[in-house]
């Protein structure tokens, strides 16, 4: 019988220890950390989204919604927190590296998530429309820009 390599055991031990530490921090971390990190003001604080935040705050039709209610999966808690971690870590790296693009564009996954959340929240209103169209085809300026419908070609 072959013995396990000491390096592999050490790696597994360190990974388990890090996982336990992360779990403890998540369970017993600073009070309200999760709630604060889901607030729009938090998103605007280092996300280089000041203009979008201001437009949402002053003119947005969805002012009572937090950013995460549209931008993170809303139908599955595990997916919500998985993507919150992935997107949050990506945003921290991009912001702190100074590589923030002049124009921030939503990813394909983000676009699909926003669409799914629009349909989920406005389920009764969208029952009669073409499901192949994206909500932002007509409502692209609704949240982060001036409210209202825009002309489409």
Model confidence pLDDT, tens digit, residues 5-20: 667 888 888 899 888 8
**Most confident listed range (42-51, 65-74, 130-139):** 65-74
Q: Who has greater pLDDT, 53 or 109?
A: 109
CA angle 96, 100, 104 (to 5 degrees): 135
> How is residue 120 written in tokens?
């989920």
The model carries a pTM of 0.70
Contact 95, 50 (CB under 8 A): no
* Section 27-44 average pLDDT: 78
Whole-angstrom Cα distance, residue 94 to residue 107?
14
Taking all residues of the chain, what is their mean pLDDT, rounded to a whole number? Answer: 81
């Amino acid at each position: 019988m072959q013995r396990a390599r000491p390096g592999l055991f050490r790696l597994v031990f360190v990974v388990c220890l890090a996982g336990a530490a992360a779990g403890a921090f998540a369970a017993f971390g600073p009070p309200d950390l999760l709630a604060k990190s889901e607030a729009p003001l938090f998103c605007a604080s280092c996300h280089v989204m000041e203009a979008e935040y201001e437009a949402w705050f002053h003119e947005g039709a969805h002012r009572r919604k937090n950013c995460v209610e549209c931008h993170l999966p809303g139908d599955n808690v595990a997916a919500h927190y998985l993507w919150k971690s992935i997107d949050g870590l990506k945003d921290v790296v991009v912001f702190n590296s100074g590589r923030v693009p002049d124009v921030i564009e939503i990813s394909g996954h983000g676009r699909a998530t926003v669409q799914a959340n629009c349909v989920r929240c406005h389920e009764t209103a969208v029952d009669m429309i073409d499901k192949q169209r994206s909500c932002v085809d007509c409502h692209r300026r609704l949240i982060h820009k001036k409210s209202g419908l825009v002309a489409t070609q």
